[in-house]
Amino acid sequence: MKLVLATQAPGEPEIFNSVQGEGPSAGAPCTFVRLSRCNLACEWCDTAYTWHFASVYGGDNRPHRSGETFDRKANQVTLEVAEVAERILAMGQKRLIVTGGEPLLQGGPLGELLEALPDHTVEIETNGTTTAPARVDIRVDQYNVSPKLAHSGNPAELALIPERLRNYSIDERAWFKFVVASPEDVAEVEELVRAHALPRKRVFLMPEGTDSGTLRAREEWLVPLCVEHGFRLSDRLHIHLFGDTRGT
């Protein structure tokens, strides 16, 4: 089987070592592998090169605030699962974070990949709209679920599927990370937590932003709201350390 990956340079798959920048394992050394394609289209997505492709028909017409589209050939590469596994093993880390795009869209080959890495601790970063096939699920140690709020621009019927949210809510491996751009977004998070019985102790609020100044400014009002509602705060360490760059 083959996996479709994002690239950090034309033809070079985005597989790299760093520290986790977000959520419950922030600061942990790990290997990242970024898969291509997504079923949602967040207007503020900072990895739009995984889905917002140009085409002879005028490009992906899903909205993105930058208005930029990306050349598919330069930003997407297809590799045999065995080669991806070899590259990950060569990195030498024992924690693997599979991100995207939406990685669970490639459940079949992803399952084969994880079977080739039995000694790795595995995190899957997902938007929460999809279900991991059993072959994947049995290998996952942690789900980082990021449901998309109204400000993402995604219709709720596509982004917030009650059955999927409920399944993740009862899975103790699942942590929830909501991207927040304004104080009003926190009220929407509160409604979702109540409606879908999301465990408050596993809910993170994370400021939207791709530069340190924006993140810090939003954290000034976000911290008091985390305290008020009993949610956890997630920073974006990689932005402070490396900026908004690929392969970091």
Mean of pLDDT values over 114-137: 98
| Domain ranges (residues) in the chain | 13-35+92-242
pTM of the shown model: 0.96
In this predicted structure, the answer to whether residue 106 has a pLDDT above a threshold of 80 is yes
Domain 13-35+92-242 has CATH 3.20.20.70: yes
Q: What mean pLDDT is reported for the chain? A: 96
In this predicted structure, the answer to whether residue 58 has a pLDDT above a threshold of 90 is no
| Candidate from 27-36, 56-65, 147-156, 162-171 with smallest mean pLDDT | 56-65
DSSP for the chain, please give it: -EEEEEEEETTEE-EEEEE--SGGGTT-EEEEEEB---S---TT-TTGGGT-B--TTSS--S--TT---B-HHHHEEEEEHHHHHHHHHHH--SEEEEESS-GGGGHHHHHHHHHT-TTSEEEEEE-SSS---HHHHTT-SEEEE----GGG---HHHH--HHHHHHHHT-TTEEEEEEESSHHHHHHHHHHHHHTT--GGGEEEEE--SSHHHHHHHHHHHHHHHHHHTPEE---HHHHHH-S-TT-
Tens of pLDDT, residue by residue over 176-230, are 999 999 999 999 999 999 999 999 999 999 999 999 999 999 999 999 999 999 9
